[in-house]
Chain A
Amino acid sequence: MIVMKFMLTIFLLMLMHVNAFAYDYDPLLLRAQTTLFPKIVLLDQDVATKTEKNSLKILVLYADDDIKNAELTKKLIEDKYKKNNRNTMSVNLIRYSEFKSSEIATAYFLLKGSDESVKKVSSYAERNNRITFSYDYNDFERNALLSVIMKEKTYIYLNKESFQKYGIKFIPLFYKIVKVIE
C-alpha cells in the first residue's frame, strides 16, 4: 500500500510537473546559454547599430505555457549581468503568439516553441540582421542562428546556412571558438 502510495505520489508529481512546465529545459544548459548569450551578442561587429538608445535590447520568446521558463531565463541573464552606468541592457519577454513585426530587438533568445513560431521569429531576425539564439539547437532546421550545447565541454554552435542569410559579422575571435554546423 505504501508502495502504491509512493508510486501514486511520483506519478502525480510527474503529472504536476508536466502541467507546470509545458517544455523541459536542462537548467544547467539554460544557465550556460544565458551566460554566453549576451557575450555573443556583443561580439557582433555591428552591435552598436542594433541597440535602442545605446542599450542592448534582448527579447526572450517563449511558448504560451512556458512563461516560467521565460522568466527564469530573464532572471538568469539579469542576475549574471547586473546593470551599471554603462550596461543598460534590457531583457523583455514575449510570447511567440504575440510576436509582431514591430518587436525589433538587438537579439532574440528563442525558448522552445512550435516550428512555425520559431520560423517566424527567425525569418524576422534574418531580415533585420539580428541574432537569434535558440535553446534547442534543433531549431537550426527552423533558421535559428546560434545555440549552445553541453557535452564533455560547452560548444557554441553556428548555423552555417542561416549565418550566410543573416549577414552578421562577428569579431574574428568568435570564429575561433564557435563550431559551425552544416
Chain B
Amino acid sequence: MKNISLSIKITLVFVFVSAVTMFIFYTVFTSLFEKHTLLTEKEKVHLIAETLEPIISMNYYLGLAEETSNLAQRVVEHENVLGGALYIDGELLWQKKYDETMAHFHVDYPVRDALSGDEIGKLHIAYSMAQYNSAVSKMRFTLFNYLGLLSIFFLVFALFVRYLLNPLSVIAHRVKEYRLGDKLEFEDIRMEPETEVISEAFLLMVDNVREYTVLLEQYKLSVDESSIVSKMDPSGTITYVNDEYVRVCGYEREELLGARCDLLSHPEIDKAVFEEIWTTILEKRIWKGILKNKTKSGSDYYVKSTIVPLLDESSDLLELISIQHDITQVYEQSKQILKQTTDENTGLPNRIKLSEDVALQSDLKFGLFSLDNYDVIKNYYGYEAAYDALKQLSENFRRVLEPQGVGVYKLAGGEFGFLAKEGSDLVWFQQICRFAIEDTGNFQLDVEGDTVDLRASIGCTSNKGNYLSYSGLALRHALDSGRSLVYYEDQENLIAQHENNLLWTRKVKSALADDRITLFVQPLVDSRTMQVTKYECLVRLIDEDDKYISPFFFLDVAKKTKLYHLITAQVIGISFEVFSQIEDKDFSINLSAEDILHKETINYLEKKIVEYNIGSRLILEIVESEGIDSYDEITAFISKMKAFGCRIAIDDFGTGYSNFSYLMELKVDYIKIDGSLIKNIDHDRNSQIICSTILNFSSELEMRTVAEFVHNDAVLEYVQDMGFDYLQGFHLGEPVPIRDLLN
C-alpha cells in the first residue's frame, strides 16, 4: 500500500466510494420504486372496485341481478384485470376465471348493503403485474444507464485527478533522487498554483539545506580544528577520530579505529566514573566532565569532555560523539591555584580563597572562629599537636557545617572563617556559629595520652567591606567580655570600647611612669582568735586626680599589653618593701597564669624573695580558673616557690574548673572560697553544702580555708561555726592603703 502513488490511491478511493454509493443508491431506489409502483397498481384496483361497488350494491338492492352481473363484467374490461368474482350473500353472482400462473396479485373489495352499509359480499379482482413488471424493467434500465454514465463520469474525474496530481509525483521523485550538489529544477513540469507553491517550497528547503550543510561543514571544521573529536558506536567502539585526536594521543588513526573507547583512559580513573558515563549515555543524556588520559607514550593529559548520544527518529541510540578539549595546562594551573588557595595542613580553602568568595557575595554573613587555647596547645604540646587539633577541627567543620551551606576557611593560627551562603538568615547563621562553639567545646583532643578540652569564640559581622577587621573586633570583644559569640552590630559600642581600652592603656602607662601604681591591703582574720594574722595585697591605680582606681578597670586592658607584667613587678616590689618592715604579719599577692608563665616576672619574684628574705611570710594566690590550661607550668612554679618557703593559696575557689585531685597535685596551703559561695551562706542551702564539702576535703588534706566576702554578722557567725580557718571581708576590714600599715 505504501508503494502505491497518491493519485492511484485517490482514484481507487474515489472509484470505491462511487461504486458503494451507486450500489446503495441503486438498491434503495429500486426497492422504493418497486414498493411504490406495486402500491400504485393496488390503488388502481381499489379505485376500480371502489367505483363499481356502490353501483353493484345499488343494483343488487334493487334486485337487478343481470345489471349487477353486467356491471361486474365491466371489471374485466380493464386491460390489466385478469379475472374476478362477485360474491353476495354467499352466492356467486359473477365470475371470470384466469390463468393463475400469470404474474398477478388480487384484491378482495367488500360489497356493502346499499342501505345499511353492512358487508354483504366481496368483489374479488385478479390484477396482472405486467404493467408493474414493465415499469420496474423500464426503471431499472433507465437507472442502469444513468449509473453507467455516472461511473464513466467518475472514471473521467479520477483520471483527471491523477492528471492533476502527476506533477506532484514528478516533484516527489526529483526531490527523492536529489543529492547535495545536484541542481534541482522543476521548470519543465506542468504547474498548477498549488504545485508551484510546493516546488518553490522544495527549492527553498534545498537552498536552506545547502546553506546549513555548508555551515555544518564549517562548524565541523571549526570543531575538528579546535577540539579532539571522536565517534563511537553504541558498544563503545571508536568509528571516527579527527586529526587533533590522533595528534594528542599519539596513536595512529588505524590503531584507534575499531579500538575500545577506553583505550586512552588513565589507570587511575575510578571504574565508577565509567559506570557514570555509560549510565548517563544509556539514559540518552549528555555527559560532561574532566577525564585523565594517557598518550601512547604513557604521558598524562587532561581533557574536558562532552559525550553526546546521537539518537535516531525512534530515539534509539545511534552513535556517540565525544568532543574534548585538552586542558592539561589549565588543569595543572588550576591545581597550582588550588594549592595557593588551600591550607596545606587542613585542606581547607585559605584566606585568599575567602577574599575571592567574599568578593562574589553581596549579602555577607561571616564568622571569625578562634580556638582560644590554640597557643597553649602549641606551646605545651608542640606544633604537631596544634596542627593535628586544627586538622581534626577542620574535618569536623567540613562534616557539620558545609552540608548546612557554610563555607569553612582556614585562617591564621587557630582561626577559621565561616562564610554563610548568599541570602542566609543572620539568626540562623548565629545559631550555626553557636553550634560550632558548642561542638568545639565537646571536642576532646587526644595528645600524647592527655585529653585536652578545646574552647572557642566567634566574632561575626555582616560588613563586607571590613569583614576581617570587624569580625576581629567582635572576636576580641567576645574574648574580653567572656562571651563565646559576639556579632559586630553595635559598631559604635565596639569602637567606644576599643577607645576605652586605648585610654586605660595610656593611663596605666602614665601611672607606671609616674609611680602611681600602689597597693591596698585587706586583713585576713583568724576565725578562732579574730585577730588579724595576714593581709591580702590588692593593686590600685592612682589617677591624675589622686583617686584610687580598682583593677577591674585597668587590669584586663593591661593584660593585653606588656604593661601587665610591669604592674605585677610593682606589686611585688611595693608589698615586699612594706612587709619587710612589718615582721609579724604574713601577706599575700595575686598571681595570674600570665604571671606564672612569664619568665621575667618569675625571675623578678625569685630575686625579690631572696633579696628581702621574705619567702616564709609570702602567700601566692593563684586564681583557680586561670591555672587549668597550664597545669604543668603551675605545678612546677609551686614546687619552686615552696622551696623558697612560700605558701600557695587558690583564690576564688569554686568558680573554676578545679577538682580536688587537682588541688592535691598542686599541694596548696590555702583555699580561698569564692565570695559567691559565702555571701548568702547563712541562708543558701546549696552554698552550705558546697562549702561544707570543701571544708571536709581541705581538712583531710590539711589545707587551710579562707572565707571571702564576709559582709555581715550572720555570715560571720555562720562561717565561724562551719570551721573556716580564716575570714576576710568588708565586715572584718576594708582594704586600706598599704602605707597605712607602717603608721
Distance in angstroms between the alpha carbons of A47 and B116 in the assembled complex:
9
Distance in angstroms between the alpha carbons of A85 and B55 in the assembled complex:
19
Cβ–Cβ contact A86 & B61, under 8 A: yes
Cβ–Cβ contact B60 & A86, under 8 A: yes
Interface residues of A in 36-80 (CB under 8 A from B): 38-39, 42-43, 47-48, 51, 54, 56
Distance in angstroms between the alpha carbons of A140 and B61 in the assembled complex:
29
Verify if A81 is at the interface (C-beta below 8 Å from B): yes
| Shortest Cβ gap from B123 to chain A (Å) | 15
If A39-B58, A171-B54, A173-B54 touch, does A82 touch B63 (CB 8 Å cutoff)? Answer: yes
Other-chain contact of B116, A38, A54, A173 (Cβ < 8 Å): A54
Residue of B55, B61, B64 with most partner-chain A CB within 10 A = B61
Majority secondary structure, A binding face:
loop
Which chain A residues border B62 with CB–CB below 8 Å? 38-39, 42, 81, 87, 89
If A84-B63, A86-B61 touch, does A173 touch B55 (CB 8 Å cutoff)? Answer: yes
Cβ–Cβ contact B54 & A87, under 8 A: no
Which chain A residues border B60 with CB–CB below 8 Å? 86
Which chain B residues border A47 with CB–CB below 8 Å? 114-115
Cβ–Cβ contact B114 & A42, under 8 A: yes
Distance in angstroms between the alpha carbons of A173 and B61 in the assembled complex:
17
Distance in angstroms between the alpha carbons of A84 and B88 in the assembled complex:
14
Which chain A residues border B114 with CB–CB below 8 Å? 42, 47
Q: Which residue of A lies closest to B55 (CB)?
A: A173
Residue of A81, A83, A86 with most partner-chain B CB within 10 A = A86
Number of A-B contacts (CB under 8 A): 38
Verify if B267 is at the interface (C-beta below 8 Å from A): no
Distance in angstroms between the alpha carbons of A54 and B113 in the assembled complex:
11
Cβ–Cβ contact A42 & B61, under 8 A: yes
Which chain B residues border A173 with CB–CB below 8 Å? 51, 54-55
| Shortest Cβ gap from B125 to chain A (Å) | 18
| Shortest Cβ gap from A19 to chain B (Å) | 36
Distance in angstroms between the alpha carbons of A39 and B114 in the assembled complex:
10
Verify if B117 is at the interface (C-beta below 8 Å from A): yes
Interface size counted on chain A using CB atoms at 8 A: 18
| Shortest Cβ gap from A38 to chain B (Å) | 6
Other-chain contact of B113, A56, A81, A86 (Cβ < 8 Å): A86
Distance in angstroms between the alpha carbons of A171 and B62 in the assembled complex:
17
Q: Mark B48-72, 1 if CB is under 8 A from A, else 0.
A: 0001001100111111100000000
Other-chain contact of B115, A39, A48, A81, A84 (Cβ < 8 Å): A48
| Shortest Cβ gap from B112 to chain A (Å) | 10
| Shortest Cβ gap from B114 to chain A (Å) | 5
Which chain B residues border A43 with CB–CB below 8 Å? 54, 58
Distance in angstroms between the alpha carbons of A42 and B59 in the assembled complex:
9
Which chain B residues border A84 with CB–CB below 8 Å? 63
| Shortest Cβ gap from A76 to chain B (Å) | 14
Distance in angstroms between the alpha carbons of A79 and B576 in the assembled complex:
193
Which chain A residues border B63 with CB–CB below 8 Å? 81-84, 86-87
Distance in angstroms between the alpha carbons of A42 and B54 in the assembled complex:
9
Distance in angstroms between the alpha carbons of A39 and B51 in the assembled complex:
15
| Shortest Cβ gap from A115 to chain B (Å) | 32
Which chain B residues border A56 with CB–CB below 8 Å? 115
Interface residues of A in 153-180 (CB under 8 A from B): 171, 173
Distance in angstroms between the alpha carbons of A171 and B50 in the assembled complex:
11
| Shortest Cβ gap from B57 to chain A (Å) | 8
Which chain B residues border A87 with CB–CB below 8 Å? 61-63
Distance in angstroms between the alpha carbons of A136 and B51 in the assembled complex:
30
Residue of A51, A54, A87 with most partner-chain B CB within 10 A = A87
Distance in angstroms between the alpha carbons of A39 and B63 in the assembled complex:
11
Which chain A residues border B59 with CB–CB below 8 Å? 39
Which chain A residues border B61 with CB–CB below 8 Å? 42, 86-87
Which chain A residues border B58 with CB–CB below 8 Å? 39, 42-43
Distance in angstroms between the alpha carbons of A173 and B64 in the assembled complex:
19
Which chain B residues border A54 with CB–CB below 8 Å? 115-116
Which chain A residues border B117 with CB–CB below 8 Å? 48
Distance in angstroms between the alpha carbons of A89 and B115 in the assembled complex:
11
Q: Mark A84-104, 1 if CB is under 8 A from B, else 0.
A: 101101000000000000000
Q: Which residue of A lies closest to B57 (CB)?
A: A42
| Shortest Cβ gap from B676 to chain A (Å) | 140
Distance in angstroms between the alpha carbons of A73 and B560 in the assembled complex:
172
Distance in angstroms between the alpha carbons of A83 and B64 in the assembled complex:
11
Which chain A residues border B55 with CB–CB below 8 Å? 173
Q: Which residue of B lies closest to A86 (CB)?
A: B61
| Shortest Cβ gap from B48 to chain A (Å) | 12
Distance in angstroms between the alpha carbons of A38 and B54 in the assembled complex:
14
| Shortest Cβ gap from A52 to chain B (Å) | 11
Distance in angstroms between the alpha carbons of A31 and B286 in the assembled complex:
124
| Shortest Cβ gap from B68 to chain A (Å) | 12
Distance in angstroms between the alpha carbons of A42 and B53 in the assembled complex:
13
Q: Which residue of B lies closest to A84 (CB)?
A: B63
| Shortest Cβ gap from A16 to chain B (Å) | 37
| Shortest Cβ gap from A157 to chain B (Å) | 20
If A81-B63, A82-B63 touch, does A51 touch B54 (CB 8 Å cutoff)? Answer: no
Which chain B residues border A39 with CB–CB below 8 Å? 58-59, 62
| Shortest Cβ gap from A37 to chain B (Å) | 11
Q: Which residue of A lies closest to B89 (CB)?
A: A86
Which chain A residues border B64 with CB–CB below 8 Å? 81
| Shortest Cβ gap from A84 to chain B (Å) | 5
Distance in angstroms between the alpha carbons of A87 and B63 in the assembled complex:
7
Cβ–Cβ contact A48 & B51, under 8 A: no
Q: Mark B25-65, 1 if CB is under 8 A from A, else 0.
A: 00000000000000000000000000100110011111110
Q: Which residue of B lies closest to A55 (CB)?
A: B115
Which chain B residues border A42 with CB–CB below 8 Å? 58, 61-62, 114-115
Which chain B residues border A81 with CB–CB below 8 Å? 62-64
Distance in angstroms between the alpha carbons of A81 and B60 in the assembled complex:
10
Distance in angstroms between the alpha carbons of A54 and B62 in the assembled complex:
14
Distance in angstroms between the alpha carbons of A110 and B455 in the assembled complex:
155
Distance in angstroms between the alpha carbons of A38 and B114 in the assembled complex:
12
| Shortest Cβ gap from A7 to chain B (Å) | 47
Which chain B residues border A171 with CB–CB below 8 Å? 54
Distance in angstroms between the alpha carbons of A113 and B60 in the assembled complex:
33
Q: Which residue of B lies closest to A89 (CB)?
A: B62
Q: Which residue of A lies closest to B51 (CB)?
A: A173
Which chain B residues border A38 with CB–CB below 8 Å? 62
| Shortest Cβ gap from B180 to chain A (Å) | 92
Residue of B51, B62, B113, B114 with most partner-chain A CB within 10 A = B62
Which chain A residues border B54 with CB–CB below 8 Å? 43, 171, 173
Which chain A residues border B113 with CB–CB below 8 Å? 86
Which chain A residues border B115 with CB–CB below 8 Å? 42, 47-48, 51, 54, 56
| Shortest Cβ gap from A118 to chain B (Å) | 27
Distance in angstroms between the alpha carbons of A39 and B71 in the assembled complex:
14
| Shortest Cβ gap from A87 to chain B (Å) | 5
Distance in angstroms between the alpha carbons of A89 and B114 in the assembled complex:
12
| Shortest Cβ gap from A130 to chain B (Å) | 15
Distance in angstroms between the alpha carbons of A147 and B62 in the assembled complex:
20
Q: Which residue of B lies closest to A82 (CB)?
A: B63
Distance in angstroms between the alpha carbons of A43 and B115 in the assembled complex:
10
Which chain B residues border A86 with CB–CB below 8 Å? 60-61, 63, 113
| Shortest Cβ gap from A61 to chain B (Å) | 22
Distance in angstroms between the alpha carbons of A56 and B62 in the assembled complex:
10
Distance in angstroms between the alpha carbons of A48 and B113 in the assembled complex:
10
Can you list 16 contacts pairing A with B, beta carbon distance less than 8 Å?
A38-B62, A39-B58, A42-B58, A42-B114, A47-B115, A48-B115, A48-B116, A56-B115, A82-B63, A86-B61, A86-B63, A86-B113, A89-B62, A171-B54, A173-B54, A173-B55
Instruction: Sort A-B residue pairs by CB-CB distance and give the 7 closest, nearest first.
Output: A42-B58, A84-B63, A81-B62, A48-B115, A42-B114, A171-B54, A87-B63
Measured CB to CB, the residues of B under 8 A from A are: 51, 54-55, 58-64, 113-117
4 extra interface residue pairs, beta carbon distance < 8 Å, beyond A43-B58, A51-B115, A171-B54 = A48-B115, A56-B115, A173-B51, A173-B54
Measured CB to CB, the residues of A under 8 A from B are: 38-39, 42-43, 47-48, 51, 54, 56, 81-84, 86-87, 89, 171, 173
